[in-house]
Amino acid sequence: MKKTITIIAVSFLSVFSLKAQITADFESLVLSADSFYQDSTGADFINGDISFEYTWTESMWGDYWSGGFSYSNMTDSVTSGAGNQYSAKTAGGYNSTNYAVGYGGGVVRLLNASTGQTAQGFYITNSTYAYNSMRDGDMFAKKFGGASGNDPDWFKLVIRKYQAGVLNPTDSVEFYLADFRFADNSQDYILKTWQYLDLSSIGTADSFRFDLSSTDNSFGFMNTPAYFCIDDFSTNATIGLKETTNTGYLIFPNPAINSLTVRFNTPVKGNASYSIVDVTGKTVLANELETGTEKAILNIEHLNSGIYFLHVINGTEVITKKFTKE
């Protein structure tokens, strides 16, 4: 079951524009220790003006995450099996705590200033589940290389771009998460560190489709666990940081030091959320707002001094206000 939220922008006053790199590093997405994103409504999540597809399935046998991306800070790099599907083999993100886990492929969409720009790339590694399965084999999948070590197995991710909503199969990048095709078996590998995957050769794009494939298949289905992990997904963008003239809410104090109070003229509607963006376009704080909220106090103590923009999505309306953190 998927939920789609359409966002309609209102009148703006331009402040300034600049060329910047927007990065989804997932650090502003709040998680408890050793946990992961799970949403029974099937809501995609957004970080750094980049949207990550998330699919949730309801069935008579139970409800479950059935594809796309989740975000996680799980640190279990040891335990094998599907019970550990949200962990990276690196036991953490790329020089960070949070990272995203891909399952069965999915779509990454570029939003706002990122749309139609050139993606730079991202860091990638194997999940613990996939890595251990390829290393040891399990009840469904083979050990890569086979008993002799000579089987030419591989596990591959292909990224294809959408331009103007049309999938372009020729503009793509391939990346091997495991490769046992070398004549010298000592060169065979299953990735267990973060490696950078450059997407710039694809050119400008609206979004990207991720697809996995493997040499280990049965009856048309892949036996290798269809998981991988990514971090620091970055794209070039011309950032137009703007402030709305709409007076749907007030913010104070401004300048602020440790907290920012947001007072709404009317209680917020469903599907309401906020994000704080710095002058480079990077999202530094984001969260949902409960339906009926009339006042919210945001903790900004951890932010560096400077100018920020608060975006509030309230129903179908986006209202942006500028503030200074001292």
Whether 98 is covered by a domain: the verdict is: yes
Which of the listed residues 205, 237, 269 is the one where a domain comes to its end? 237
Whether 12 is covered by a domain: the verdict is: no
Whether 11 is covered by a domain: the verdict is: no
Q: How far is CA 251 from the centre of its chain?
A: 29
Whether residues 297 and 184 share a domain: the answer is: no
Whether residues 130 and 189 share a domain: the answer is: yes
Give the Cα separation of 88 and 156 in Å (integer): 17
Contact 31, 41 (CB under 8 A): no
Which of the listed residues 202, 237, 272 is the one where a domain comes to its end? 237
Q: Which residues, 6 or more positions from 293, have their beta carbon under 8 angstroms from its beta carbon?
A: 264, 267, 268, 272
Whether residues 219 and 318 share a domain: the answer is: no
CATH classification of the domain holding 258: 2.60.40.1220
Q: Which residue has the tokens 């990454």?
A: 108
One-letter amino acid of 213 = S
For residue 41, how many other CB atoms are within 10 A of its CB?
A: 10
Whether residues 224 and 293 share a domain: the answer is: no
Whether 217 is covered by a domain: the verdict is: yes
Give the Cα separation of 322 and 188 in Å (integer): 52
One-letter amino acid of 310 = L
Which of the listed residues 237, 267, 286 is the one where a domain comes to its end? 237
CATH classification of the domain holding 88: 2.60.120.1350
Alpha-carbon dihedral sign for residues 284, 97, 105, 185: positive
Whether residues 196 and 220 share a domain: the answer is: yes
- At residue 4, the pLDDT reads 33
Residue 291 phi, psi dihedral angles, 5° rounding:
-55, 135
Q: Which residue has the tokens 């290798």?
A: 224
- At residue 11, the pLDDT reads 34
Whether pTM exceeds 0.75 = no
- At residue 3, the pLDDT reads 35
The pLDDT averaged over each successive group of 10 residues in the chain (326 residues) is: 34 42 87 95 91 95 95 98 97 96 94 82 97 97 97 97 84 95 96 94 92 97 98 76 67 92 84 78 81 90 88 74 88
Whether 256 is covered by a domain: the verdict is: yes
Whether 15 is covered by a domain: the verdict is: no
Whether 10 is covered by a domain: the verdict is: no
Greatest Cα pair distance, the chain, in angstroms, is 70
Whether residues 227 and 265 share a domain: the answer is: no
Whether residues 103 and 226 share a domain: the answer is: yes
Q: Which residues, 6 or more positions from 325, have their beta carbon under 8 angstroms from its beta carbon?
A: 255, 256, 257, 300, 303, 304, 305, 306, 307, 308
Contact 219, 288 (CB under 8 A): no
- At residue 284, the pLDDT reads 85
Whether residues 180 and 312 share a domain: the answer is: no
Whether residues 51 and 196 share a domain: the answer is: yes
Whether 265 is covered by a domain: the verdict is: yes
Whether residues 142 and 93 share a domain: the answer is: yes
Whether residues 254 and 232 share a domain: the answer is: no
Give the Cα separation of 315 and 293 in Å (integer): 13
Whether residues 210 and 265 share a domain: the answer is: no
Contact 245, 290 (CB under 8 A): no
User: Which residue segment(s) compose the domain that 279 sits in?
Assistant: 246-325
H or E stretch including 29? none
Domains in the chain, number: 2
DSSP state of 304: P
- Give SS3 for 141: coil
